[in-house]
Amino acid sequence: MHIVVDYDRCDSYGTCVDNAPGVFEIRDDDLMYVLVERPPAEQLAQVETAVRSCPKLALSLREE
């Protein structure tokens, strides 16, 4: 699975960082960065919560 971000939708507010802090990060430039594009099994539950909780529906998971 890998994380796909629609940056046209993302508002960089950071709900995803709250849900999966080891996977997403807001930097000093106020943009959201994905730290782990292909999260391992132990981070997948956090990432799924982040995907579901994104208020802008900017996150998705794709199988590959």
Using CB under 6 A, which of 1, 14, 46, 49 touches ligand SF4?
14
Beta strands 24-26; 2-5: pairing state: unpaired
Residue 40 corresponds to which tokens in the numbers above? 């391992």
Binding to ligand SF4 by residue 11, rule CB under 6 A? Answer: yes
Number of residues engaging ligand SF4 in binding (CB under 6 A): 14
Applying CB under 6 A, among 20, 23, 47, 54 the residue interacting with ligand SF4 is: 54
Q: Is 36 in the site for ligand SF4 (CB under 6 A)?
A: no
For residue 53, what are the CA distances in angstroms to 29, 59, 60? 23, 9, 11
